[in-house]
Structure 1
Amino acid sequence: MTSSLTVKNVTLKFGGLTAVNDLSFDISPGSISSIIGPNGAGKTSVFNMITGFYRPTAGQIILAGNQLVGKKPSQITRLGMARTFQNLRLFPNLTVLDNVKSGMHSRTSQTVWGALWQTRAQRREETFIEDSARDCLRFVGIEDSCDRIAKNLPYGAQRYLEIARALATKPRVLLLDEPAAGLNYEEKEDLIALIKRIRTHYELTVLIIEHDMGLIKKISEKVIVLDYGQKIAEGTPEDVLSNPRVVEAYLGKEEEAI
């Protein structure tokens, strides 16, 4: 089976600091996979390289046969990559609906001329954008809030709004950076169900960064573990979370008895 996403021998250096070191992994189409590791392990740096915010010092990143290294974030979005952020990056003073419509910018085709003169094609596209945005909001369960200002939504709903905006770009691969951060137990259970529905309904691949091990075990088919920018384990949640190197990375090495 071909991979939806391939990261091959990727290294990222900032001056004398190596944030990610010779990292390789494949993500299968239609899978739900996770990247875990202690704080500072390089997880978000990996997402930033995949989405074009950072350029790797070395290595390749391939999405459905397309080389991503050297492309701008907007170009990578058009190729089928979407993401959410650990710290919400909504437009706080826009409505919920307008936030999702903004995510469709990369898929629009009309010109400034069409917008100024409100051509028939422009009006058709505006209708399509609004209908698609409402569909995304309906899917994540917050369509009733479409006219509310984004910053006035409860925190959990803001998380769902960011997911809806990512879905509006029509991705092949969806990257979720700590989607459960700040959520209570019931909200996390709802999030797990939503991610599974997203995978099935939109027929896409999901890659998650997450600290919540309970969520990781319930949702992930493959887990990649980073420590100090290097991959130290890869496999099923059960295998990875019982790996001594992973336990050591999270809990620290037990001191030998004196």
Structure 2
Amino acid sequence: MVGGVEYTIDELARAAGTTVRSVRVYHERGVLQPPQVKGRTGYYGPEHLKRVHTISRLLDRGIKLNGIKELLAAWDRGDDLGDVLGVGDPGEPGAVSVAAGDTISAAELQEYFGSAPNGLARVVAAGVYEPVDAATYRVADRELARFVDQLTAVGVSAADALTELEKLRADCDRMARRVADLIHRTAWESYRNSDRTVADIAELAESVGVLRSAPVPAVAGVLPRLIARSVEQDVELTEALGNP
């Protein structure tokens, strides 16, 4: 193994912040290379860990395992994945020129969100930008900045885009709190009533990993369908779109 680092499947799952079951699914779906087998035990190396982290990030972005398999295959071939992963050339048509770390002057930011009451303070509180100094801010969250830019690009005012962002954050916060409550009521309570052995800790870690990650692809799959259904219920809009 590179650098002499080796992981069993349990150790790999813990190091990657995921579950043994997820690692096995990655094998079954062909997105993770098999381990090196010694005796009857499979051992993983740093490249496996890096791959599992990559898979987790792509799942968090709502990409399904079939799509991830294609992306990783292209990656392994050395293809340019910039466009697919949303990190391509900002100058290309339709691309959004925001990235974590990009800077903008306080004056520009104030002007951009000037129509929103306390716009500058609110966009910072929402986690989109953070101050570098009194005159400069930088993008703190690329995806949130992209969300605002995409809305304003189709004519939504900066003030309305900021309001929608705050509502989105509030909805996500409520979901996160429900997940945390579920973890506390189930995995944590089970561990509290256990003997707290190494095996119990491992079970706690695996349960928490599942409960933390499971809602992400579920939301990514359900939300587009719910949005589509809600849009289709607007009869006038649907008729307009069906009869250009």
TM-score range, shorter-chain basis? under 0.3
Q: Larger % of helix: which?
A: 2
Structure with more relative contact order (C-alpha pairs < 8 Å, separation 6 or more): 1
TM-score by length of 1: 0.27
TM-score by length of 2: 0.28
Q: Larger % of strand: which?
A: 1
Q: Which structure has the greater CA radius of gyration? A: 2
